[in-house]
Amino acid sequence: MTSLPPLKPKRGFNPAQVRLLAVVWVALTVVVGVCTFGAIFWAAGGFAQPTPTAAPTATPAPTFTPLPQPTAAPTVAGKAPLPPLTNFMLGGQAIHGGIPHTDQMKQAGMTWVKLQAQDLTVDFGPAVDNAHRLGLRILISVVDKTDEKYKIATPEYQQKLADYLVTLATQGADAIEVWNEANIDREWPTGQIGGANYTDLLKFVYPQIKAANPDTMVISGAMAPTGFFGGGCTPQGCDDKPFLEQMAAAGAFNYADCIGIHYNEGILPPTQTTGDPRGNSEHYTRYYQSMVDTYVAATGNVKPLCFTELGYLTGEGYPSLAAAAPNFAWANDTTIAQQAEWLAEAARLSRDQGKVRLLIVFNVDFTTYDADPQAGYALLRADGTCPACDTLGAVMATP
């Protein structure tokens, strides 16, 4: 019997081919899936960018609670240029930081204003700014009229005072007077009064003020002119001359740019050096010229003098000094015309002799007239006139 030829195999895939096709299919599925996802992802705007972690906020510099301010200064458009520093300058002590009589001060040839800080919690920054806007340089005389002043000899209080003075310098005070009348127990603790003790304070605060503002002029605290202590010192106080000599011996004037001085008891022209009708008529405090000469001799003329108070008292236009202020009756016969004439003459002598750098008139516009008749010293008189503005202005306008 004849055998049949073998049958041809059926069309199909062997196992190897099946495996290959499976791999290809999986690959195509992955590619298509990726492309589809990519299209959807692109249409949606891509991956959301993570919000960056905020940089840590720097710890802010400490801010201090605003201190109580003196009488608000008026707003003045613009800022006047400050007057130049010259060999002799004139100013006046104003009633408050608003400096309400600037026009009269400038009429008198004044380029400085003085204010007194009597409480270390009062911020004088606005007053400094106001003075500068008005085109005046400013001296701030610092003393403490609170009971805290009796701690003045302690390190803790002296640092508190230094911090306050540094703040004033940083705020732009053109000059600072360090304390006031430290030779009497009204301003310094009994039993601790002496030029060396005051010098210790000056040595402590001076470098701190200068580090804060080297342009701030430091004036040593003017003493109360007096012969009450018999030419020496007691636990209750010192005459100003021996106190000043003690300061000189302790090196005080290495820590001051100017030496503070007061003169406010004159009843004669500043050119006169004898003839005061009161008792102890030869005492140097009676006369302008002997005050200046005594201070120059006691300090060795190493630094100029700065009058932080110079004034002539008159009760004209007010009730009699003998009745209103018996302790000041010595000025009962002084007239407004004499006040104007004598202030002008004191300014001329101060300028021409070259011993005085700054003269602050006490005062411009105080209004109190009682047992302490400050209005009697004022340039602005009870009727609103200012005769001394004219006489001072004439002197300051003369080269």
* Other beta carbons within 10 Å of 384: 7
Provide DSSP, 289-316. HHHHHHHHHHHTT-S-EEEEEE-----T
List Cβ neighbours of 90 (8 Å cut-off, separation of 6 or more).
108, 109, 110, 111, 112, 347, 358, 359, 361, 392, 396
The residues spanned by each domain of the chain are 89-396
| Cβ–Cβ under 8 Å, residues 330 and 265 | yes
Q: Along the 399 residues of the chain, how does pLDDT read in single tens digits?
A: 333 233 333 334 444 433 443 444 344 443 434 344 343 333 333 333 333 333 333 333 333 233 333 333 344 456 779 999 999 999 999 999 999 999 999 999 999 999 999 999 999 999 999 999 999 999 999 999 999 999 999 999 999 999 999 999 999 999 999 999 999 999 999 999 999 999 999 999 999 999 999 999 999 999 999 999 999 999 999 999 999 999 999 999 999 999 999 999 999 999 999 999 998 999 999 999 999 999 999 999 999 999 999 999 999 999 999 999 999 999 999 999 999 999 999 999 999 999 999 999 999 999 999 999 999 999 999 999 999 999 999 999 998
Q: Per CATH, which fold does 89-396 belong to?
A: TIM Barrel (3.20.20)
Say if residues 392 and 384 touch (Cβ distance below 8 Å). no
Whether the full predicted model's pTM is greater than 0.85, yes or no, is no
Task: Give the residue from 221, 130, 140 showing the smallest Cα distance to 173.
Answer: 140
